[in-house]
């Protein structure tokens, strides 16, 4: 069987609020069986199976669900997100309990005040002080509105009914398409990949008694599968030189065109440049020519957010980045996500080891 040249980054089940543990476990096992069957038939590897739950009334309430669901994380390798929460630095113990068990969650900036942003910054710093790997499991939603996407940590559940979404891992596939036929070939390849992804999503949705919600066409990297490599080749300009944002915009417009053709695109549908997950971006950051604010400014135009960046500890610096992300989100009318790892005792250019991600260069704020 000829391999299609891309993978499914995630098949994600978004559970209804009434789903109990037995229902969640049953759906997960059915989804795994369906994915195994389809992979054997169609040859497309699924990188991860994910589950998104509706949040409890508080972070402490959500912590109460961890023990009963932990076997799915530890034994079955399922990524589980406990949804969008409001929290403060006082919730450190509950948040630690959740992420130390391998779960994900996100936090809402509802008021957009310095007080709120500093409280979240303090929570993040204290969590990263315990272990930088813990900060990987939380993200910040500057608008505080739910988004239906397979991407963690910002994924949420619609709450009323079960839904299935799919994400792709295809930077190299799209780069090869660009080299053969330019941006039109990239668009066509996105549409083709979405069509095959849809088969997986619909089959899983049927077998877990849910509905298929759609595919997030975002271009997200994994190490040598570099989103940055695609953008730099399309634009002919390297990050952070003048003109880079133009190439980034061209790729985002290609995603938008593909999304309009598929008719069921959901989520971000933008280029993603998570620092720790893109080998080429790690190199650029190590060259000390790019800052976290540079990446965040790109988010204001055509990027899904400031993601997986290790930065020197700074309570006000992180708070300011969160507020700037909120400003860009409001200007764009869509969520600009933030996931940061602030650490004491590091300087730009240093390297920090993160589990699953290897050595990650520290980027200046």
Torsion of CA 56, 92, 275, 291, to 10 degrees: 120
Q: Is the dihedral of CA 114, 118, 119, 121 positive or negative?
A: positive
Packing angle of the helix pair 292-302, 315-332 (nearest 10 deg): 10
pTM of the model as a whole: 0.96
Share of the chain above pLDDT 70, in %: 99
Which run of H or E residues covers position 169?
A: strand 163-169
34 closest CA partner among 213, 168, 210, 207: 207
The 3-class SS string of 198-241 reads HHHHHHHHHHCCCEEEEEECCECCEECECHHHHHHHHHCCCCCC
Distances (CA, A) of 23 to 16, 53, 295: 10, 12, 41
Going by pLDDT thresholds of 50, 70 and 90, the confidence category of residue 173 is very high
Q: Are strands 358-361 and 351-354 parallel, antiparallel or unpaired?
A: antiparallel
The pLDDT of residue 47: 96
Angle at 272 between CA 269 and CA 278, to 5 degrees: 150
Residue 1 pLDDT greater than 60, yes or no: no
The whole-angstrom separation of Cα 245 and Cα 261 is: 24
- Whether the CB-CB separation of 62 and 98 falls below 8 Å is answered with yes
Residue 266 pLDDT greater than 90, yes or no: yes
Mean pLDDT for the chain? 96
Residue found under tokens 């009963």: 68
Going by pLDDT thresholds of 50, 70 and 90, the confidence category of residue 304 is confident
Residue 283's contacts (CB-CB under 8 Å, 6 or more residues apart) are none
Residue 307 pLDDT greater than 60, yes or no: yes
Q: Determine the CATH number of domain 7-275.
A: 3.20.70.20
Cis peptide before 153 (omega within 30 of 0): yes
The pLDDT of residue 2: 59
Give the tens place of pLDDT for each residue, 273-303.
999 999 999 999 999 999 999 999 999 877 8
Least confident of 36-45, 51-60, 297-306: 297-306
């Amino acid at each position: 069987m000829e391999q299609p040249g891309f993978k499914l980054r995630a098949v994600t089940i978004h559970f209804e609020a009434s789903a109990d543990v037995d229902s969640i476990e049953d759906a997960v096992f059915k989804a795994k069986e369906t994915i195994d069957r389809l992979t054997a038939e169609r040859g497309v590897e699924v990188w991860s199976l994910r589950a998104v739950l509706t949040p409890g009334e508080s972070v402490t309430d959500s912590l109460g669900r961890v023990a009963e669901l932990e076997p799915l994380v530890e034994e079955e390798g399922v990524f589980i997100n406990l949804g969008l929460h409001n929290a403060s630095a006082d919730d450190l113990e509950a948040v630690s309990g959740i992420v130390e068990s391998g779960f994900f969650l996100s936090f809402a900036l509802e008021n957009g005040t310095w007080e709120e942003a500093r409280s979240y910054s303090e929570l993040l710093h204290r969590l990263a002080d315990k272990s930088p790997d813990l900060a990987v499991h939380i993200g910040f939603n500057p608008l505080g509105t739910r988004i239906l996407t397979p991407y963690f940590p910002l994924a949420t559940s619609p709450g009323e009914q079960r839904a299935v979404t799919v994400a792709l891992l295809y930077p190299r596939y799209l780069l090869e398409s660009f080299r053969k036929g330019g941006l039109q070939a990239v668009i066509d390849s996105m549409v083709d990949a979405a069509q095959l992804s849809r088969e997986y999503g619909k089959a899983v949705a049927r077998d877990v008694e849910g509905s298929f919600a759609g595919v997030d066409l975002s271009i997200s990297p994994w190490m040598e599968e570099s989103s940055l490599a695609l953008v730099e080749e399309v634009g002919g300009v390297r990050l952070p030189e003048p003109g880079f944002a133009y190439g980034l915009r061209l790729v985002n417009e290609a995603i938008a065109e593909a999304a309009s053709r598929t008719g069921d695109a959901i989520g971000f549908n933008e280029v993603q440049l998570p620092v720790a997950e893109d080998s080429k971006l790690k190199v650029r950051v190590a060259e000390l020519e790019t800052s976290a604010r540079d990446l965040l400014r790109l988010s204001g135009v055509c990027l899904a957010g400031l993601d997986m960046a290790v930065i020197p500890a700074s309570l006000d610096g992180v708070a300011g980045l969160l507020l700037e992300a909120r400003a860009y989100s409001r200007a764009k009318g869509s969520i600009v996500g933030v996931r940061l790892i602030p650490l004491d005792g590091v300087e730009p250019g240093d390297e920090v080891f993160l589990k699953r991600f290897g050595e990650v260069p520290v980027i200046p704020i």
